[in-house]
Chains A and B, each alone.
Chain A
Amino acid sequence: MSDPMTPLAVTAYTATSAIGHGLAAQLDALRHARSGLRPNDFSSAPLQCWIGRVDGVENTRLPAEHAVWECRNNRLAWLGLNQDGFLDRVREARERYGAGRIALMLGTSTASIGETETAYRRLDADGGFPDDMLRPAIHAPHSLAAFVTAVLALEGPCLTISTACSSSAKVFASAERMIRLGLVDAAVVGGVDTLCDSVLFGFNALELVSSQPCRPFDAARNGISIGEAAGFALLERVDAAPDAPRLLGYGEASDAHHMSTPHPEGLGAELALRDTLARAGLDALQVDYINLHGTASTKNDEVEAALVSRAFPAHTRSSSTKGFTGHTLGAAGIIEATIALQAIEYGLIPGNLGGSMPDPGCGPQFAWKNEHQRVDVALSNSFGFGGNNACLAFARAGFSA
């Protein structure tokens, strides 16, 4: 088990998803139990399902100097970066530390693959990409991080993490290690994934997509609703911002079981959880809220509900917020991290939207409706294909385990 780590300050954060642009919209939707899911109006061919589509992405244009990066994913990234004063906070950090002393770690599962899909739908007579699609930087999974590093004018380490649905949780771990080693003084972390045919028809082929709005932890759940989102956070040492909420710990582990189904006993998920508690110096009794992975797939929710039941006391509250945003895949880690941070800031336990008939495997820890209480410590679970598990722990400023 890992040694306790020195917490980091989360000095800025922002989220944009189907429930709105920016943190105020997200909080409002959570408070009013308002889902952002809608019938699929996105895929290039009909597919009966519900999606978490972000309004306004199509009308977003990148600044002229970044036009080479145009694609749906980078437009959503740009939309997200412009919320909650995030660009200003990064600029201030850059002025404080220097561009080379800030790392950029972003998670994405498909980046701008939607643009490559478009190129294949428009191949020219000799089977090649049309001229306007001859943009090598866009047809690469690093396109998101490369675009964002250009926008933020950062010159430190820059990495894309692409471990499917745990991607933008793991960025916190990579950033913490680089700050701990003194390679950088701060890090911008986050993730962006956008709707595209690859994920809609891909998850559909795996029979993991529900034709209804997703119902996490419901006894009759029958699959996920895919969403899109952009989220970012700025991490610095605590002495730079003693009043900011903290990243207290994280854990990462592998199932070593199957490419697309979780370990039946949640082995990797539990290892990631235990490692998180160890790094955070926490006992499970001290955890007030867990934002669950809760995709509404039959298997994930069964395994995760059992883990919550055996690892946490009844007073720990837990819920999935996929019923609000849909499963935002590589962006799920950061979006749900921001919901955990809002739970701490506003004392709001979001109800498990969509779960009207609780699965019998769910224990007393589940918050089916919104609850209001002080939250000092909140966890966020993110599990991905390939058995890739991550867990994050956040705490309010001044909390000491």
Chain B
Amino acid sequence: MSPLRIHIEGIGLWSKHLGHYAALQSLLAGDTPEPPLSKPAATTLPPNERRRAPESVLLAVEVAGQAVAMSGRAPASLACVFSSSHGDQAITDYMCATLASAPTELSPIRFHNSVHNAPAGYWTIATGCHEPSTAVCAHRMSFGAGLLEAISQALADQCPVLLVCSDIAGAYPLVEETGCTQSFGCALVLAPAVSGTTLASLDITLAPSGSVEPLPEPLASWRDANASADALPLLALLTRGHGRCLVDAAATLALQIELQQVAMPGLDVHHRNVEHVA
């Protein structure tokens, strides 16, 4: 079959090293970007929600807000796919520890924040979005599987889709099982057609999964430290402006991604980002 062609209109990124996509561009250009604040600002949430929201929600909302601002789209107009390998590991740790010691004392708020679609819920509530929203995972392949789900929705229903893929860092003992030692989140606004805000066009084909996509350091270590950082080969490709990469989407399935076109040279992305934030 012919490749799936999808267009990127916005990119969001947050980790303890990189506070936005422009920081990755700067890093890959050989500079040393300033690390972000210790906590994602998540300014899309109203202040009272921001205080209440768990860390996984702040991270997802931060990168979603960045990507949507860059796209210039109204957040309420976007269907959204929130992917995460492990959901909120801090809440899982709290819940399992509490259930083991004093189950009837479980916090109702932490319980409703424990659902895998908590970021989707907070995001749609904060933005007044009534479009379809979903929350997905595929363990180490959560970025690739989430990307395929988002592309499939954008192309089948000819609508723009917000994809968020994020995981917070875990703590002992759970982190020994999740392997998530650093927070990482990224977001893409995907559109089925070229528009004035298209940053890049991608041709995507399903392929058998093969070798791990090579990445330069420190990106390779960051990818090892968080399943959601499986997005880094694609983000690096977008920064490079040409070429292809492979992203795993299931145990035996990968997405072969070929960058077709970059509408604007890298720094313009930064300018648009600043403009929208201001």
What is the interface of chain A, defined by CB distance below 8 A to chain B?
A: 2, 43-45, 47, 100, 109, 113, 116-117, 119-121, 123, 127-129, 134-137, 139-143, 145-146, 149, 155-164, 170, 173-174, 176-178, 180-183, 197-198, 201-207, 252-260, 267-268, 271, 384-388
Contacts and interface: CB of A to CB of B under 8 A. Distances in A.
A254 B137 contact: no
Contacts of A267: 130
Contact of B250 (A158, A252, A257): A158
Contacts of B74: none
A159 B176 CA distance: 24
B108 interface: yes
Given A140-B86, A164-B115, A267-B130, 7 more contacts: A109-B115, A121-B99, A161-B135, A206-B111, A256-B124, A256-B128, A384-B115
B237 interface: no
B236 interface: no
A253 B131 CA distance: 5
B254 to A, nearest CB: 11
Contacts of B113: 259
Contact of A162 (B136, B157, B174): B136
Contacts of B241: none
B155 to A, nearest CB: 6
B156 A157 contact: no
Contact of A113 (B92, B100, B152, B206): B92
A159 B113 CA distance: 22
A2 B176 CA distance: 45
B225 interface: no
A259 B112 contact: yes
The residue among B4, B114, B127, B136 with the most chain A CB atoms within 10 A of its own CB is: B136
B249 A157 contact: yes
Contact of B173 (A2, A127, A163): A127
Nearest to B139: A142
Given A159-B149, A182-B1, A259 B108 contact: no
A155 B176 CA distance: 28
Contact of B253 (A100, A143, A162): A100
B274 interface: no
Given A157-B250, A202-B111, A254-B131, A44 B103 contact: yes
A157 B129 contact: no
B138 A159 contact: yes
B52 to A, nearest CB: 10
A385 B134 contact: no
Contact of B138 (A123, A158, A197): A158
Interface in B236-256: 249-253
B36 to A, nearest CB: 27
Interface residues of B, number: 66
B139 A386 contact: no
B33 interface: no
A254 B92 contact: no
A120 B124 contact: no
A174 B150 CA distance: 10
15 contacts: A119-B96, A121-B99, A123-B100, A134-B176, A158-B145, A161-B135, A161-B136, A178-B152, A183-B148, A201-B106, A202-B95, A204-B104, A255-B130, A386-B118, A388-B135
B37 interface: no
Interface in B175-202: 176-179
B176 A183 contact: no
B250 A156 contact: yes
A143 B138 CA distance: 9
Contacts of A100: 206, 208, 252-253
Contacts of A135: 177
A143 B85 CA distance: 11
Contacts of A156: 250, 253
A120 B206 CA distance: 39
A254 B119 CA distance: 13
A202 B104 contact: no
Interface in B203-225: 206, 208
Given A136-B177, A156-B250, A163 B108 contact: no
A386 B115 contact: yes
B173 A123 contact: yes
Contacts of B152: 174, 177-178, 181, 183
Given A123-B173, A162-B137, A181-B155, A253 B145 contact: no
Contact of B130 (A170, A207, A254): A254
Contacts of B138: 142, 145, 158-160
B139 to A, nearest CB: 4
B134 A170 contact: yes
A252 B95 contact: no
Contacts of B130: 253-256, 267-268, 271
Contact of B179 (A136, A149, A158): A136
